[in-house]
Structure 1
Amino acid sequence: MPTTAREIHKVLTFKSGNFVFSRRFDQDNIATELKVFHACYDIIASLPTPPHLAAFLDADLIRKSIFSTAALEGNPLDEKAVGALLGREGPATAANDFEREILNLKATHDKFILAANKAKDAKPLLLSEDLIKAVHAAITIGVNDAAISPGLYRNTPVQVGNPEHGGTYVPPKILEDIKTLMAAFVDWINSDALLRTDPVIRAALAHYHLAKIHPFRDGNGRTARMIEAMILAAAGYRLIPSTLWNAYYRDMHAYYIAFSKSENNADDSVQPFLEFFFKSLNASLEEFRARIVEGVKPLLYRDYVAYLKNQARELSPRQHQLVELLLAAGDTAFDSHDLRQTNPFKLLYRQVSDKTIRRDIKNLERLGLICKTGNRYRLIDDAR
């Protein structure tokens, strides 16, 4: 694997020796990964997404993502509890520190990522120490922990990781070294070489190196992932940035292993982290695609039903109304007895013969709008 000195930038610290900023990786491998990502993203971005479906996806995927990035750092609230907390009406209040962390993440996401999503022109996000401190402060503000100083660098040594997740890592230990490295990090990530790098790669490198410096007592992982998401959002990518957090959480062990392998690489290559990053990116794309398709299928089903009634004339008005009632009822199994005896169907069929009921059911089955399970019927999967 050919390398050049320009791929490595070393900064001498007082207590921790040389700290390496690296953009050394397998260029051919990552170039292929980038081509695959861009091709898949362009296809997914072109899928039809009605405004109400887009709004639902935004809320649902962001909820999952906030749960995931918090859970990575040990927040015990499950996804249902996170959803209930974020779904409350009125001013959000937290009953404990765990809820405060969730509300902070949502507020930080809205302030820094949604703002980037609304920008008309995609352009590289220039990082600054003040911006990184502001993100950290927003994530940790109000948490009742004396060890947390929102937006302030630490002045105590910490140890990261554990043997189960690839081993432990000791980041730079003292405030002077952290100040030196954060200044160097900002200069490096904003350098011409990094700004010319694909923003997908730049986002991953920012995530990795910020986590490696570990400048704060707590909240480093959440801050690094938020910064990564902000760079991607500024580059014009929607939903994928925070959806990455879901993939990181689902493969938590591999996430920490990727950090450990890159930190311990003899040639300072960040290939292990980038390989995991692209694996997670592909998982995020698939999740996004599946959610769009899942949301669009019922809309296509309704359009098809309307076509069968209005153009093909294969559905009677009553049969069309039955389909609409079934759609409103959700995943409901029924038989001919239900249509005559239960609400809301009996209002449609109370003055209709059993033969007509059977004919309506048979026609819906013939047209592939319903399917039979045992002795009962239900809408096909695409309708739900």
Structure 2
Amino acid sequence: MAIHWIWQQPDWPDFNWQAERLAPLLRECVQAQGQLKGMAQSVDGSLSAQSELDALLQNIVTSSAIEGEQLNVGSVRSSLARRLGLEQPAASHVSQRSEGLAQLMLDATRHFDDPLTLGRLFEWHQWLFPEQETGITARSIRIGGLRGNEPMQVVSGRIDRPNVHFEAPPRQGLEEQLATFLDWFEASRSQSSLDPLLRAGIAHFWFVTLHPFDDGNGRLTRTITDLALAQGEAQAIRFYAMSASILEDRNGYYRVLESSQKAALDITEWLKWFLQTLLRSLQQAIARIESVLGKARFWQAHRESDLSVEQTKVLNRLLDGGERGFEHGISAAQYQAVAKVSKATATRHLAELLEKGCLQRLPGGGRSTRYQIAYPENFTG
């Protein structure tokens, strides 16, 4: 039999990789993990909870977006917030879809110590597909059960000349293949010679290659990745959303999966892409936490500065920086527009903010003068 797919290799699934090529990236990821963990510990309770909610929400929404599904963000946020104890149950309708996705994410991250079993996977699959919400029936896909006997392929192109990007292992023997994966997943947690981040990358590749369900394989693969990362960090709180970084390079994601699934058992290229994507996710989270900490410290320093409503509004816009288009400071004309005040009032407000140490003047003069936040001296963000 000609070998087209990695699972047809005689030694499947005995993966190998070139450790020396991955070592520099691994070091960067571990350092970023440590930095993020240290920063997170300095964030007070309410800000920490809000940052975690934002990361979990981003993870759920982007994992579905990778599959081309647009979720109701407000509904998912409500489901998550209630489960995290951040708000009371909402009177308005929250969809069963949102409830299932929130339950799935929190089960994987909050209960990271629980073993990953076939029963747990089936339960996750049921949460993904509430029948009354998705319009999917148990007849169209097997909800909470393994896929059927027909070949599982990812194809594109014309019906009469399809381009097969991937074909999963046949249905016969799938139970044994999945049992091998689940046994490895449990045993590898205590394997000191295997870096936890590499373990997460291997788990991702292995499970998505098995493709054990009719639908939802990608989302469950990324959930298993979140579970593996939480186990590696030995903490339930999440401040970064790897699915968001995968979505940013969705084409690269599918490309490296396809090339690796058509290759031999050396998965170095896949693991390299995985670590690069994880690193980007960690770095983005560090930048967000820095912004949150900077804003909190700024308002702590100016809690008695007696600022007007307009001044507070403009300062918050500046503290949000690039998100609001003022990463290069604000001019007097922009202050006037944002605060909705007269030119004279804008000039007076800016002078007061300079005097109180809230703002500093950037180089340049005249009409082009711009102002930016003056962070407290002990702020290093």
State whether residues 52 and 238 of structure 2, in contact with CA within 8 Å, keep that contact through their aligned partners in structure 1.
no
The letter of the residue matching 2:21 is: N
Q: Does 1:298 align with 2:289?
A: no
Between the aligned partners of 1:80 and 1:199, the Cα distance in structure 2 is 33
| Residue identity matched to 1:90 | A
Q: What is the CA–CA distance in structure 2 between the aligned matches of 1:244 and 1:169, rounded to whole Å?
A: 23
CA root-mean-square deviation: 4.0
Q: Write the mapping of 1:234-273 to structure 2, written as runs, cut at 5 A.
A: 234-235=231-232, 236-237=234-235, 243-265=241-263, 267-273=264-270
Q: Which residue of 2 aligns with 1:145?
A: 136
CA distance in 1, matches of 2:105, 2:189: 28
- Aligned-pair CA distance for 1:323: 6.2
1:364 to 353, 365, 372: 353
- Range that drifts further, 370-379 or 249-258: 370-379
Q: How many residues align?
A: 332
2:12 counterpart SS class: strand
Query: Are 1:154 and 2:147 matched, yes or no?
Result: yes
- Name the structure 1 match of 2:24: 32
CA contact (8 A) 2:109 2:227 kept: yes
Structure 2 match to 1:5: none
8 Å contact 2:360–2:374 — kept in the other structure?
no
Shift of 1:149: 2.2
- 1:321 and 2:306 correspond: yes
Which stretch shifts more, 361-370 or 38-47?
361-370
Give the Cα separation in 2 of the matches to 1:302 and 1:185. Answer: 50
Indicate the SS of the match to 2:223.
helix
SS in 2 for 1:169: strand
Kept in 2: contact 1:70–1:101 (CA 8 A): no
Find out whether 1:129 has 2:122 as its counterpart: no
Show the 5 A alignment for 1:338-353. none
Instruction: Name which structure has the greater RCO, CA cutoff 8 Å, separation 6+.
Output: 2
CA shift for structure 1 position 144: 2.6
- Could you tell me the percent identity over the aligned residues? 18
Q: CA 1:241–1:148 in structure 2 vs 1: closer, same or farther (change >3 Å)?
A: farther
Using structure 2 for the length normalisation, give the TM-score: 0.73
Structure 2: segments with no counterpart, 5+ residues = 1-5, 83-88, 158-162, 319-329, 377-381
The correspondence of residues 1-384 of structure 1 with structure 2, limited to 5 A, is 20-47=12-39, 48-77=42-71, 83=77, 89-90=89-90, 93=93, 100-116=96-112, 126-142=115-131, 143-146=134-137, 147-162=140-155, 168-174=165-171, 176-191=172-187, 195-196=191-192, 197-235=194-232, 236-237=234-235, 243-265=241-263, 267-305=264-302, 320-322=305-307, 326-327=311-312, 330-331=316-317, 361-362=350-351, 364-365=353-354, 368-370=357-359, 374=367, 380=373
Please state whether the residue corresponding to 1:322 is helix, strand or coil.
coil
The answer as to whether partners of 1:68 and 1:245 remain within 8 angstroms in 2 is yes
Aligned partners of 1:51 and 1:102: how far apart in 2?
Answer: 25
Alpha-carbon distance between aligned partners in 2 of 1:167 and 1:294, rounded to the nearest angstrom: 45
- 1:34-81 per-residue CA deviation (whole Å, 9 max, x = no partner) reads 222111211221122121211111111211111100111221347577
The TM-score with structure 1 as length reference comes to 0.72
* Rounded Cα–Cα distance in structure 2 between residues aligned with 1:242 and 1:133: 26
Partner Cα separation in structure 2 for residue 205 and residue 294 of structure 1: 33
Q: Return the letter of the residue paired with 1:56.
A: Q
Change (3 A) 1:205 1:334: closer
Cα deviation, residue 331, structure 1 = 3.4
Q: Using a 3 Å threshold, how does the CA distance of structure 1 residues 370 and 250 change in structure 2: closer, same or farther?
A: same
Within 2, Cα distance between the matches of 1:302 and 1:241?
23
C-alpha distance in structure 1 between counterparts of 2:374 and 2:252, whole Å: 34
**C-alpha displacement of 1:371:** 5.6
Give the Cα separation in 2 of the matches to 1:36 and 1:177.
39
Shift of 1:91: 6.7
The residue that corresponds to 1:120 in the other structure is none
Q: Residue deviations 1:336-377, cap 9 Å, x none?
A: 9x99xx99x99xxxxxxx99x978753532565236795998
C-alpha deviation, 1:238, in angstroms? 5.3
User: Does the 8 Å contact 1:161/1:256 carry over to 2?
Assistant: no
The answer to whether the 8 A contact 2:16-2:267 is kept is yes
Runs of 4+ in 1 over 4 A off after TM superposition: 16-19, 78-89, 91-94, 237-242, 332-336, 357-361, 371-379
Over 3 Å counting, the alpha-carbon distance change for 1:328 and 1:362 in structure 2 is: closer
